[in-house]
Structure 1
Amino acid sequence: MEGNSKRKKGKFEFPHVFALLFGLIIITALFTYLIPAGVYDREVNEAGRTVVVDGTYHEVESNPTGLFGILESVHRGMVDAAEIIFFIFIVGGAFGILNATKAIETGLASVSTKMAGKEILLIPVVMVLFALGGGTFGMSEETIPFILILVPLAIKMGFDSLVGAGMVIVGSCAGFTASFLNPFTVGVAQGIAEIPLFSGMGVRLIVWLIFVAFSTAFVMIYAKKVKKNPEISLMYDIDKQWKKEDSIQNHLETKLTARQSIIIGLLFLTIIGLAIGVTFYEWYIMEIASLFLLMGIIAGFVAKLRINQIAESFVNGCRDLVVGALVVGLAYGIIVVLEDSNTIDTILYSLSGAIGQLPTAFSAMGMYITQSLLNFIVPSGSGQAALTMPIMTPLADLTGVSRQTAVMAFQLGDGISHAITPTSGVLMASLALARIPWIKWIKWVWPVIAISYLAGAVIVTVVHMFIWTV
């Protein structure tokens, strides 16, 4: 008995997401003592975007992050991420009201029953839709609410939470990576590189199809294995908690009432409104949060909930997403450390200098690798474009790389790691909502990430040598 007790106490536990991110903040802070401080000058371009000025890098006084700076970075990260944090709370509150109407759980039971024996077909349909969102209007933060729908649905259909989260995260990231109309990545990068906006779309559409095809195949193959043998799932024990909750076990034979049908229709109208607003009216987090809040309030009244019930349900929805929301702020804390210590520009300067020393044939590959590495410290697509493209554009001219190829290298390097980088607030929040530890997610998703990086390397090489030649 004593030996068993000791073994239990010594059993390895995966670190909590908060512990993982705080550990990364500490590691980043230690590196600020080793990396020289330096900055580029910045200017506002014709599009009104602040960009770096190539050739202006200079060293500045070192400002490494101390112990108190590490602690301050948590609060400052929360402040910097406030827009996304409160977006998550408001959307979570709106879904709390929806959950109180029982419309979603009854709808999930209905869908599960109707698709009995054909559940696998849901995966390609959902993933293509998210990939289209990522490839056109840069769907990213907008994906977070769908975790609350698709993870329970995937489990109810006999899959696991990795399949549910994978449909959302892997699908949207595949589309975002190989986007052909994304204004936040392709649009910004091409604008800075001074090439026609959204030019080269034919090539990008082919790349989009390639990425979406093998990403969808990966999730489907895994889903079939889990369906056949649930115990092989990395999430087998954790997913039992989902199955204990009302949203999974109740209303197995219950049909949607008229009021619940109206609420489900309202949810679909909200999703359509989201797509229209983002695509045509430049909606972002504030407008999207307001849309979901309106949906929640209307759903509450349609379900004849009392005003106090609506308010309490909203609070309950927020409470369920506390971890997911605060994770975003911790991820931003890493960026705060890098910015305060003036080390981001030094890293960029060193990497761009290394590319300049490469033979012309390998310069495009050097750009791709550089953009891939930088995305771990600058997870914003438009932010990375503003930081790197003013440097990569003249570097491309000097090394004989087409500017179009330089944009492709940025695009693929920026996008792939969105599905794994712990500095991505959207990823970490999505995993927290799905109750998937980051380490388990990495163990599951690494094959498709490895294939994506290899495919990206091949694509960059092919377009550099045979399509967008200088």
Structure 2
Amino acid sequence: MTQPKTWQMPDTLVLIFFVAVAAALLTYIVPTGSFQTQDVNYLVDGVEKSRSVIDPTSFSYDLDDNGDPKLAPVGLFEGNGGAGFFNFAFEGLVSGSKWGSAIGVIMFMLVIGGSFGVVMATGTIDNGILKLIDRTRGNESLFIPVIFVLFSLGGAVFGMGEEAIAFAIIICPLMIRLGYDGITTVMVTYVATQIGFASSWMNPFSVAIAQGIAGIPVLSGSGVRVVLWFGFTLIGLIFTMRYANKVKHQPTHSFSYHSDAYFRENQSKASLDSRFNLGDILVIATIVATIIWVIWGVVSQAWFIPEIASQFFTMGIVIGIISVIFKLNGMKVNDVAVSFKQGAANMLEPCLLVGCASGILILLGNGGPSEPSVLNSILNSAGNLIGQLPNALSAWFMLVFQTVFNFFVTSGSGQAALTMPLMAPLADIVGVTRQVAVLAFQLGDGFSNVLVPTSASLMATLGVCRVDWGDWLRFIWRFMLALFVVSSLVVVGAHYMGFN
């Protein structure tokens, strides 16, 4: 008797490919346009900063010889370094700089993947997890709320996002050993940071920049936003705890049960009487010291991807030395090198997804506001549409627009620079306060990072937890719908209360 065929969610790379097809088709329909830019100054913590932003009144279509708006359809292939459709994967993989976008995030993942490959080869994490479970039986549920709140606070205070990738590598084996799954790990790390990011009262990479560009006092309205942070964090924590408890009682209810097999198989060799000696204590101490070092660097020195990667690389070297001295798992110098290469190799799949997702944006024109692109035309059209709506509906459509536009520009500061020069004066025209326009920006930008496959940080976190984006979509859509409904009520309510 033949088994009935069941529908299977396409692989993440397949989904990205079809999104790229849709993006390429848009270039045959939407003409290209551009803005002029101008510099604006604003204060953050008493320090004057400047940023180049678009002039919202300066949009113009790129015209052909007949004076008509010109299309720039993407060809199947482009030579001389161009970006045709079949170039999108390579162009995406090499796009950006060491400070971010694809190439920076990819190299960051390879370095931390290699470093944590050394950590995992020592056996300290597996053995430590077993000892922790043995010592805390009955209190495992405390881990989730503590970790969730800490990561949400990190997103709110210093814009934590990419850093969640490294922490997910450590936390995922722990969560699965405790009876949860990879999706729970993504929720308590990356999703928690984005909840904090979206509802922050002081995030220097989103709300501070957006308020500065909008011409309102930087970090104003903090009281309201602190309440929002608490409320949204509580919503996220309740959703996570309900799902985690469901998985713990019935593991097959997990949306990532099949992909979690990788962690279950690798951990099945350990036992509760596992080794844990001075060498293991030094490995754990090195990891903790690195985490403290990273947090200090991000908060006080504004360190970002290059510096954080170097910090974790240093951690890998130190732990490699400890493993050789104390012969952890019988490791020798060559074993350290092999484990680093294997750890980096495990990052290959998420690296490919990050690069291909970035390639989608290149197809739509990734050259910035002053260069003709489909992205600029979409931005201008959305602004014109919102300007014709009643004020309360305009406030809500600002949220909708920022949510959708984040698919194309996932950088919080980048989206603020592109959209707030348009949304701030538009808010004045339609009778919405600029503070509400900033609120719509940060909620739309932050929460949609939890879903969009063009977010390098999301795809990387899913990758290290071995969660397919298709499975993630099946799981997260209900939570995203709840966040959007609550965000809509918050934005419209803020408008009627005159939030200013």
Compute the TM-score of the two structures, normalised by the length of structure 1. 0.95
- Select between 259-268 and 280-289 the one with higher mean Cα deviation: 259-268
Q: What is the alpha-carbon root mean square deviation over aligned residues? A: 1.6
SS in 1 for 2:316: helix
- Give the aligned partner of residue 73 of structure 2: 64
- Give the aligned partner of residue 14 of structure 1: 9
Question: Kindly, what percent of the aligned residue pairs are identical?
Answer: 38
CA distance in 2, matches of 1:426, 1:361: 33
CA distance in 1, matches of 2:28, 2:20: 13
Indicate yes or no: 2:308 matched with 1:288. Answer: yes
Shift of 1:236: 2.3
Indicate yes or no: 2:19 matched with 1:24. Answer: yes
Q: Is the 8 A contact 1:57 1:349 kept in 2?
A: yes
- Which runs of structure 2 are paired with 1:4-403 in the superposition (5 Å)? 4=3, 11-46=6-41, 47-60=49-62, 61-68=70-77, 69-80=84-95, 81-245=102-266, 247-304=267-324, 305-339=331-365, 342-403=373-434
**Structure 2 residues not aligned, in runs of 5+:** 42-48, 63-69, 78-83, 96-101, 325-330, 367-371
After superposition, give the CA deviation of every residue in 1:246-282 in whole Å (9 maximum; x if it has no partner): x454143225211111110111111111111111101
**Structure 1 residues not aligned, in runs of 5+:** none
CA distance in 2, matches of 1:377, 1:272: 33
CA distance in 2, matches of 1:220, 1:346: 42
Shift of 1:451: 1.2
- Give the aligned partner of residue 412 of structure 1: 443
After superposition, give the CA deviation of every residue in 1:217-269 in whole Å (9 maximum; x if it has no partner): 00101111111111222222332232111x45414322521111111011111
Q: Is the 8 A contact 1:243 1:249 kept in 2?
A: no
CA shift in 2, pair 1:19/1:361, >3 Å: closer
> Which amino acid is 1:66 matched to?
G
Shift of 1:309: 2.2
After superposition, give the CA deviation of every residue in 1:65-121 in whole Å (9 maximum; x if it has no partner): 121101112111111111110000000011011112211111121222222222111
CA distance in 2, matches of 1:110, 1:420: 35
Count of aligned positions: 463
CA distance in 2, matches of 1:74, 1:296: 30
- Select between 207-216 and 65-74 the one with higher mean Cα deviation: 65-74
> Which amino acid is 1:138 matched to?
G
Q: Is the 8 A contact 2:158 2:298 kept in 1?
A: yes
CA distance in 2, matches of 1:14, 1:448: 19
CA distance in 2, matches of 1:359, 1:11: 47
CA distance in 2, matches of 1:308, 1:467: 65
- Select between 110-119 and 31-40 the one with higher mean Cα deviation: 110-119
CA distance in 2, matches of 1:461, 1:330: 36
SS in 2 for 1:51: strand
CA distance in 2, matches of 1:454, 1:403: 21
After superposition, give the CA deviation of every residue in 1:326-374 in whole Å (9 maximum; x if it has no partner): 2111110011111157111111111111111011232211211111111
Compute the TM-score of the two structures, normalised by the length of structure 2. 0.90
SS in 1 for 2:170: helix
CA distance in 1, matches of 2:459, 2:403: 19
Shift of 1:300: 0.8
Alignment partner of 2:457 out of 414, 422, 426: 426
SS in 2 for 1:67: coil
Shift of 1:436: 1.1
SS in 1 for 2:7: coil
CA distance in 2, matches of 1:321, 1:31: 32
SS in 2 for 1:106: helix
Q: Is the 8 A contact 1:152 1:248 kept in 2?
A: no
